Amino acid sequence: MHVIPETWSHLHILVSLFPLVGLLFVLGFYAASIVTNNDGLKRICLMVIVGLGVLSIPTYISGMGSIMPVSEREGVTEGLINSHYNWSLYALLILVLAAAAAGYEWMRSQNTGRPSANAIHLVLGLSLITLFLMSAAGESGWEINHQELGLSPVPNAVSGLPSGSDIPEGQGTPQAWSHFHIILNHFPSIGLVIGLFFLIVSIVMDNDVMKRASLVLFTICGILGIPTYVTGASSMWALTDPPMESISQAAINAHRDMALWTLFGLAATGVSAWIELWRFRYLNRFSSRSIYFTLTSALITLALIAETGHRGGQINHPEIRVDPLPTDADAYLSPNIELLINNVQWFVPWQTLHFFGYCLIFGTVAAVVLRVFGVWKSMPFSAIHRILPLGVMGVVMNVFTGMLMLLADTFRYVNSNAFPPKMAFIVIGGCAVLYFSLSDKLWNTKAGEEAPMQAKWVAGITLLAWAGVIAGGRLIPYV
Amino acid sequence: MDTTSIIISVTTIVLSLLALGTIFAVMYCLNKEVDKTNR
């Protein structure tokens, strides 16, 4: 099995992400438990924080075991290792304190029936400090293993980046893309693990708040799949154009193929989770069939993401390689899709569907925003809520068609000045859909009533975000 | 019209019809249960 680590370095790469990215997601559940005052979810979160505290032991031991093999790599200095060691040590110590407080409160609440507010806030505070220190530890860790992040692209590529249509191959793509990819790719993978844990526990405990929070996390993972894939495509150019001696195009293509399947898996999981959140509003209960469908989809996607992560790790982590790297760069699906979609006979039809998707998204956004701003006040918000799936279908269509179009000419897309803001707007616009699905205040806005001010701000941001996506997409060939 | 234009046109029309069919089918299925429950 590929994902079972055989070295300390490999174990460290896998386990050290949970006290960082895992803790962030657990704090999301923790915040949900505080907002909804759900004692069951609070106690499960306390237990998970204890679990993360226990993980600090293998994280520390595997980190110590990794020092020797990693320090042999070219460019790894004692200063880099010491910086990572110090940040990690402080972070793990605070995490152990947070876990001890969480464990004590968990045991105490067994007798009293509910956790105390003071203890809940103490654990939250310690966890937030841990998160801050862990971020610094993670960043210093990536500096050790990813020397390429410090490289500047070939002159003229960063300063005064020319327009996308003028960039000749060989000028270099900024390494900032690789940096973003290294950070982003851990969010859907660890998010799925945490989401699956909470979803399974929520089924066992029959806790609807926990089920909703898990479905929200799956939806977020689905949305994050888009920038993760796109930054991955950009990183490929940053690492191969101009070529680097230690980077294999065949290894990248092997990773890309699995990443494409993972993207579709994340989309399926995210959409099925969101649809269940949407249906819950009307039915006031979760359908077991839909919950189990989402669970199965998340499990399959987790398997895909594990293999994708493993193949991604092979690209630039020589210390964890056990098998020889692939050598035939043409033996994979992605380069063949690139060739196919580059043909105008395929590009134009898929681009047409991309425009259909935009129409669906913008039409839905316009209707929601008009009601929230008070233009269609005679309608309750619940009536407008009915059309949200149309917009989500538009997003799904455009993720599929957009990724195909991206594959037609990744170099030009990722080096256009209009592309990064477009990607950022997609994430903002996608997350806004969650607000319209989850806000109780907005859902309870009856006919003739004014929508809450908070909703108006979100509506304004959503409108601007999706307008920015459309404008950004159109500007790609020109700026 | 040359062969390429015909292929592009046919593929575009077929894909568009498939997309429209999917949109209406999904909306019908999603709303059927909701309408039944909220009648």
Domain contains A155: no
Reported as a single tens digit per residue, the pLDDT across A224-239 is: 999 999 999 888 888 8
Smallest Cα–Cα separation from A206: which of A373, A44, A381, A372? A44
Q: What is the pLDDT of residues A55-92, one digit of tens each?
A: 999 999 999 998 888 887 777 888 889 999 999 999 99
A324 with A349, same domain: the answer is no
What are the helix and strand counts (H, E) for chain B? 1, 0
pLDDT tens digits, A372-427: 999 989 999 999 999 999 999 999 999 999 988 888 888 888 888 899 999 999 99
Nearest to B16 among A282, A353, A389 (CB): A353
Residue A162 lies in a domain: no
Contact assignment for B4 to A345 by CB distance below 8 Å: yes
Contact at CB, A389 and B26, closer than 8 angstroms: yes
Residue reference for tokens 């990813």: A146
Q: Is the peptide bond before A477 cis (omega within 30 degrees of 0)?
A: no
> Does B9 touch chain A if contact means CB atoms closer than 8 Å?
no
Establish if A97 belongs to a structural domain: yes
- The answer for residues whose C-beta is within 8 angstroms of residue A293's C-beta and 6 or more apart is A272
Residue A212 is predicted with a pLDDT of: 94
Q: Does residue A395 fall inside a structural domain?
A: yes
Cα(A395)–Cα(A398) distance, rounded to whole angstroms? Answer: 5
Task: Find out whether A457 and A471 touch, Cβ atoms under 8 Å.
Answer: no
Report d(CA A7, CA A214) in Å as an integer. 33
Instruction: Give the angle A433-A434-A440 at the CA atoms, nearest 5°.
Output: 115
* Tokens 């913008």 -> residue: A362
Residues A313 and A417 occupy one common structural domain: no
Q: Considering the entire predicted model, what is its pTM? A: 0.90
Residue A243 burial (10 A CB sphere; 0-12, 13-18, 19+): exposed
- A40, two tokens: 């069951």
CA distance A462 to A468: 10
Query: Can you tell me whether residue A218 is helix, strand or coil?
Result: helix
Number of Cβ within a 10 Å radius of residue A237? 20
Tens of pLDDT, residue by residue over A163-199, are 444 555 555 688 888 889 989 999 999 999 999 999 9
pLDDT tens, position by position, A258-299: 999 999 999 999 999 999 999 998 888 898 999 999 999 999
- Does B6 reach chain A within 8 Å, measured CB to CB? no
CA atoms within 13 A on the CB side of A178: 27
- Asked if the structure places residue A82 within a domain, the reply is yes
What percent of chain A is predicted at pLDDT more than 90?
A: 61
Return the pLDDT at A479. 83
* DSSP helix, strand, coil percent of chain A (3-state; round to 5): 80, 0, 20
pLDDT at A171: 56
Tokens of A31: 């915040």
User: For residue A167, what pLDDT is reported?
Assistant: 54
Residue A107 is predicted with a pLDDT of 93
Question: Is A153 in a helix, a strand, or coil?
Answer: coil
Q: Which distant-in-sequence residues (6+ apart) come within 8 Å of B4 by Cβ? A: A344, A345
**Nearest chain A Cα distance for residue B3, angstroms:** 10
Q: Place A41 in a pLDDT band, splitting at 50, 70 and 90.
A: very high
Place of tokens 């949200």: A388
Q: Can you give the pLDDT at residue A66? A: 86
Report the length, in residues, of chain B.
39
Q: Does B7 contact chain A (CB < 8 Å)?
A: yes
Q: Which residues of A touch B4 (CB under 8 A)?
A: 344-345
Shared domain for A317 and A383, answered yes or no, is: no
Reduce the DSSP state of residue A77 to 3 states and report it.
Answer: coil
Q: What is the distance, to the nearest Å, from the Cα of residue A177 to the centroid of all Cα atoms in its chain?
A: 15
Q: Do the beta carbons of residue A119 and residue A101 sit within 8 Å?
A: yes
CB A275 within 8 A of CB B30: yes
Q: Alpha carbon of B32 to those of A208, A248, A390, B25: distances in Å? A: 23, 51, 15, 11
pLDDT score at A165: 46
Residue A445: pLDDT over 60: yes
Asked if residue A72 lies in contact with residue A6, where contact means CB atoms within 8 angstroms, the answer is no
- What pLDDT does residue A160 have? 42
Contact of B25 with chain A, judged by CB distance below 8 Å, is answered with no
Is residue A333 in a domain?
A: no
Examine the domain organization and report whether A15 and A118 are in the same domain.
Answer: yes
Query: Are both A30 and A143 inside the same structural domain?
Result: yes
In whole numbers, what is the pLDDT of chain A averaged over residues?
Answer: 88
Q: Where are the alpha helices (DSSP H) in A373-452?
A: 381-385, 388-408, 410-414, 419-438, 440-443
- Residue A20, domain extent: 1-147
- Measure A283 CA to nearest chain B CA, in Å: 7
Residue with tokens 């050290």, as numbered in its chain: A16
Residues in A touching B23 (Cβ below 8 Å):
360, 390, 393
Name which of B8, B26, B37 is nearest A348 (Cβ-Cβ): B8
Residue A311 counted as domain residue:
yes
Please give the pLDDT value at position A152: 63
Domain count for chain A, please give it: 3
Q: Which pLDDT belongs to residue A168?
A: 53
Show the tokens assigned to A405: 């179009």
A274 and A359 in a single domain? The answer is: no
Q: What is the ipTM, given to two decimal places?
A: 0.88
A450-458 CB contacts, 8 Å cutoff, 24+ apart: A450/A374, A450/A377, A451/A371, A451/A372, A451/A373, A451/A374, A451/A381, A455/A372, A456/A372, A456/A373, A458/A372, A458/A432
Q: Which residues of A225-236 are buried (b: 16+ CB within 10 A; e: fewer)?
A: bbbbbbbbbbbb
Q: Are residues A443 and A392 in the same domain?
A: yes
Q: pLDDT per residue over A143-158, tens digit each?
A: 887 767 766 655 444 4
At residue A162, the pLDDT reads: 43
- pLDDT for residue A333 is more than 60: yes
> Does residue A153 belong to any structural domain of this protein?
no
pLDDT of residue A166: 52
Whether the pLDDT of residue A433 is over 90: the answer is no
Mean pLDDT for all residues in chain B: 87
